[in-house]
Structure 1
Amino acid sequence: MIDDLIERMLKGDRRATARLITLVENDEEKAREIVRKIYPLTGNAYIVGVTGPPGAGKSTLLDKLIRVAREEGKIVGVIAIDPTSPFTGGALLGDRIRMQRHSTDPGVFIRSMATRGSLGGLAKATSDAIKVLDAYGCDVIFVETVGVGQIEVDIVKTADTVVMVTVPGLGDDVQAIKAGLMEIADLFVINKADKEGADATYFELNMMLDLEKERWEKRGWRPPIVETVATTMRGIRELWGEVKRHREFLEESGELERKRRFRAQEEVKTIVSGRIARAISERFDEEEVASLIDRIVRREVDPYSAADVVLEKALGVKV
Structure 2
Amino acid sequence: MNYSDNLIDNLLKGDRRALARTISLVENENPEAASIMDALYKKIGHAYRIGVTGPPGAGKSTLVDELTKYYRKQNKTVGIIAVDPTSPFTGGALLGDRVRMSDVFLDEGVYIRSMATRGSLGGLSKKASDVADILDAFGKDYVIMETVGVGQSELDIVEAADTTVVVLVPESGDSVQAMKAGLMEIADLFVLNKADREGANRAMQEIQAILQLRENRDWKPKVVMSIASEGKGIAEIAQAIQEHREYLEKNQLLLKNRRERFLKKIQSIVRYQLEKEFWDENAKNFLKENLETFQDSRTSPYKLAEELLKNYKEKWREHHE
Instruction: Identify whether the pair has TM-score above 0.5, normalized to the shorter chain.
Output: yes
Displacement after TM superposition at 1:136 (Å): 0.5
* Matched letter for residue 228 of structure 2: A
SS in 1 for 2:61: helix
Q: Deviations over 1:136-192 (max 9, x none)?
A: 100110000122246531111100000001111154431134343221111111100
**Could you tell me which residue of structure 1 aligns to residue 177 of structure 2?**
175
Q: Give the 3-state SS of the residue equivalent to 1:225 in structure 2.
A: strand
Aligned amino acid, residue 101 of structure 2: R
Aligned partners of 1:240 and 1:208: how far apart in 2? Answer: 23
Q: Which of 268, 271, 289 matches 2:266? A: 268
Show structure 1 runs of 4+ deviating over 6 A: none
Q: How many angstroms does 1:260 deviate by?
A: 0.8
Q: What is the identity percentage for the equivalent residue pairs of Structure 1 and Structure 2?
A: 47
Q: Which amino acid aligns with 1:268?
A: I
Which SS does the other structure have where 1:259 is aligned?
helix
* SS of equivalent to 1:29: coil
Secondary structure of the corresponding residue to residue 197 of structure 2: coil
Question: What pairs up with 1:122-141 in 2 under 5 angstroms?
Answer: 122-141=124-143
Q: Which range moves more in the overlay, 65-74 or 282-291?
A: 282-291
What is the alpha-carbon distance in structure 2 between the residues aligned to residue 22 and residue 306 of structure 1? Answer: 37
Conserved? CA contact 2:117–2:124, under 8 Å = yes
Quickly say closer, same or farther: Cα 1:285–1:153, change in 2 above 3 A. same
Alignment of 1:237 with 2:235, yes or no, is yes
Q: Is the 8 A contact 1:279 1:315 kept in 2?
A: no
Query: 1:314 aligns to what SS in structure 2?
Result: helix
The Cα shift of 1:86 comes to 2.1
Deviation sequence 1:266-302 (CA, Å, 0-9, x none) = 2122222212221221153444113445787568544
Map of 2:118 onto structure 1: 116
**CA deviation digits over 1:241-282, x for unaligned, max 9?**
010110111111111111111111221222222122212211
Deviation larger for 118-127 or 304-313: 304-313
**Counterpart AA for 2:307:** V
Q: 1:283·1:313 contact (CA, 8 Å) conserved in 2?
A: no
Residues 10-41 of structure 1 show CA distances to partners (whole Å, capped at 9, x for unaligned) of 11111111111111111242221210111111
C-alpha distance in 2, partners of 1:224/1:127?
A: 26
| Mapping for residues 60-139 of structure 1, pairs under 5 Å | 60-94=62-96, 95-99=98-102, 101-139=103-141
- Root-mean-square deviation over aligned CA pairs: 2.1
Alpha-carbon distance in 2 for matches of 1:167, 1:304:
46
Q: Label 1:63 to 1:282 Cα distance change in 2 as closer, same or farther (>3 A).
A: same
How does 1:261-300 map onto structure 2 within 5 Å?
261-282=259-280, 284-293=282-291, 300=298
Residues 129-278 of structure 1 correspond to what in structure 2 (within 5 A)? 129-149=131-151, 151-169=153-171, 171-214=173-216, 216=217, 220-278=218-276
Q: TM-score, normalised by structure 1?
A: 0.91
Distance 1:257 1:309, change over 3 A: farther
**Aligned-partner Cα distance in 1 for 2:194–2:151:** 18
Number of aligned pairs? 313
Counterpart AA for 2:108:
P
In structure 2, the partner of 1:303 is 301
How far off is 1:123 after superposition? 1.3
- AA aligned to 2:41 is Y
Please give the TM-score of this superposition, normalised by the length of structure 2.
Answer: 0.90
Per the alignment, residue 31 of structure 1 pairs with: 33
**Following the alignment from structure 2 to structure 1, what is the Cα–Cα distance between the partners of residues 95 and 40?**
30
